[in-house]
Amino acid sequence: MRPAYTNSRQIYQELAKGNLGTVEALHALRLLQANGSVSTLPASAGDPTGKPNNALEELNKLIGLEAVKKLVEEIQAFVQIRRYRQEYGLKAEPLVLHMIFKGNPGTGKTTVARILGALFKELGVLSKGHLIEVERADLVGEYIGHTAQRTREQVKKALGGILFIDEAYSLARGGEKDFGKEAIDTLVKAMEDHKDELILILAGYRREMEKFVQSNPGLSSRFPIILEFPDYNLTELMEIAKLMVKEREYRLSEAAEKCLYNLLKNQVDNYDENRGNARLVRNLVERSIRRQAVRLTRAGQFDRNSLTVLTEADILAAAEGAE
């Protein structure tokens, strides 16, 4: 049975001696954290009870994405424990954080990428932690050499942060006049040249991303972290909708909530990978708010209650406008 540790220094000493594994050390640190006893961290190691939790807290507030949250927590733990091992002169695994995000539109890929940027800044992995989001049109040029130049420009903007390439598989369309491969080659070189100041995330539909990686064998080893973003289920979509409405200081009438539920259920039952997920919900909420504004203006209703309630008519009008 392991002894009860009274401070973090004891844990790091046991880790350095090899008496504790990284998972055991992390568990012991969490127990201390729960008791408010974490202290005396190695210099430059980061504080697991302080700022690094901010980004994780933001991530954990997101609805769904449980597998993504678990993997991100593993990444954070690995980065921290790796640094603790370095402090004691132990061997540390190479820090390769380039990633592949697979999922349909509106499943949280860009949101999670932004949170990761903040997390890696808090951990000292990235100096800025900002996110530069690009697609094929931002990278691929019209003549030989133009693509490399454009790609390097985007890489330069992203230094110190994350370069997020949406629909990355579009870079491998093929064809004699296609310069997508030049963009890929330039990105691979940038990963080597700026390995300590750039994280690259390739994102897109699951099936297309899998084909893309398979057709470029060298990519799998360069992108060791793969995050899968599943579609939201009906319960999660309703939770997202209610949260969006609440954040905007509105509320759904009982009839409006039932109406929204039925609309979203129809979307889930009639599966379409382009349905939009959280993006669909956001658009419905925002259109409903605009329809409410028109309704109230026409009726001359400006009391507090009227200004905060979204009705069934608002939801239906928003849905009709989306068709």
Q: What would the DSSP string read from start to end of 28-96?
A: HHHHHHHTT----PPTTS--TTSTHHHHHHHHHHSSS-HHHHHHHHHHHHHHHHHHHHHHTT-------
- CATH number corresponding to 96-229: 3.40.50.300
Cβ contacts of residue 163 below 8 Å, gap of 6+? 132, 134, 154, 155, 187, 198, 199, 200, 201
pLDDT grade for 21, boundaries at 50, 70 and 90: low
Cα distances from 217 to residues 94, 97, 212, 220, 244, in angstroms, run 20, 18, 9, 6, 41
> What pLDDT shows up at residue 272?
76
Residue 166, pLDDT > 50, answer yes
pLDDT grade for 42, boundaries at 50, 70 and 90: very low
* Percentage above 90 pLDDT, the chain: 61
> What pLDDT shows up at residue 93?
86
Average pLDDT over residues 230-254: 96
Per-residue tokens: 119: 């997390």
pLDDT digits 0-9 by tens, 81-106: 998 898 889 998 888 999 999 999 99
DSSP-derived letter for residue 319 is H
Per-residue tokens: 206: 């699951």
Residue 249, pLDDT > 90, answer yes
Q: One fold for both 96-229 and 234-322?
A: no
Question: Does CATH place domain 234-322 in 1.10.645.10?
Answer: no
Maximum average pLDDT range among 31-35, 39-43, 76-80: 76-80
> What pLDDT shows up at residue 63?
94
Domain residue ranges of the chain, discontinuous segments joined by +: 96-229, 234-322
Cβ contacts of residue 210 below 8 Å, gap of 6+? 102
Mean pLDDT of the chain: 86
CA separation for the pair 20, 125 (Å, rounded)? 25
CA separation for the pair 98, 218 (Å, rounded)? 13
CA separation for the pair 116, 165 (Å, rounded)? 15
- What's the predicted TM-score (pTM) here? 0.78
Lowest model confidence (mean pLDDT) among 23-27, 201-205, 252-256, 282-286: 23-27
DSSP bridge partners of 252 = 310
Average pLDDT over residues 40-55: 46
Average pLDDT over residues 204-223: 88
CA separation for the pair 80, 102 (Å, rounded)? 26
